[in-house]
Chain A
């Protein structure tokens, strides 16, 4: 009897702990309550080809930052890629497109991608991650002198300049160190 009581207490305590930690882990910021989504953030980049072809010039944004329709549009307009010609040969382009679409925000569920999708109208296929409504909202307290006016940062597109763990998918503000300024905690 004593044994059963103990097991029961342990099970109960575990349930309470899980429930509390789930609430604590959930990001209550904004209108999102996706606390039962198991994965908190975008999956890390798993394509060496994407990493080397695209990541040579800019941060290799995880595919989970945009919906599949955006990636398709992006990969179809590489000759005019944010004002640069970033053309790839057909085979490379097809491979990378397939990877990005498979891992896109609407194909790999996680809390971060869900918030991203909610900030994009369904009939829109945005290409620029750094000005999505969700990203704007997340950065609205950072003065421009620390980003655009900061030679070591240059642009919000340069995620890894401040988000020191960006490549592992951690964009949590505790991992933020702004060059020339230091840690950012609000």
Chain B
């Protein structure tokens, strides 16, 4: 009986654990690419940092679409569509389940916000910030 309960409890905890595992795996990959000592505070600072888009001259940051508080819902700057929270603790079970999806959005959103791809170090710092929340 105890075994059954233990298994059930483990199964219930799987989704959240799966997200964290994927994020940790990604951070390992970034370490292999030269990143080190990922820092949630640095991630938090970069999250709010504003950049000027060369094409539009607009001042933007990650918080233009995501919320500054990772546990809250964001809203797309152009369409107004709601964007789910990014904090690992509040993110839905499938928010971080696919490594390819994480890389796709890093690529697209770093280019949009910074005008270039993010480095392995920056990506690791961002994920550390998501995991800390």
Contacts and interface: CB of A to CB of B under 8 A. Distances in A.
A58 B111 contact: no
Interface stretch (B16-24, B27-35, B77-85): B77-85
Contacts of A154: 75, 79-80
Interface string A27-69: 0000000000000000000000000000011110000000000
A146 B83 CA distance: 21
- Say whether chain A's binding surface is mostly helix, strand, loop, or mixed: loop
Interface size range on B against A: 10 to 19
B76 interface: yes
B9 to A, nearest CB: 31
- Say whether chain B's binding surface is mostly helix, strand, loop, or mixed: loop
B79 A155 contact: yes
B78 A59 contact: no
A22 interface: no
Interface residues of A, number: 16
A58 B79 contact: yes
Nearest to B101: A52
A121 to B, nearest CB: 26
B6 interface: no
Interface in B77-104: 78-81, 83
A84 B80 contact: no
A84 B112 contact: yes
B81 A59 contact: yes
Contact of B80 (A82, A83, A85, A161): A161
A120 interface: no
A85 B111 contact: yes
Contacts of B112: 84-85
Nearest to A59: B81
A59 B76 CA distance: 11
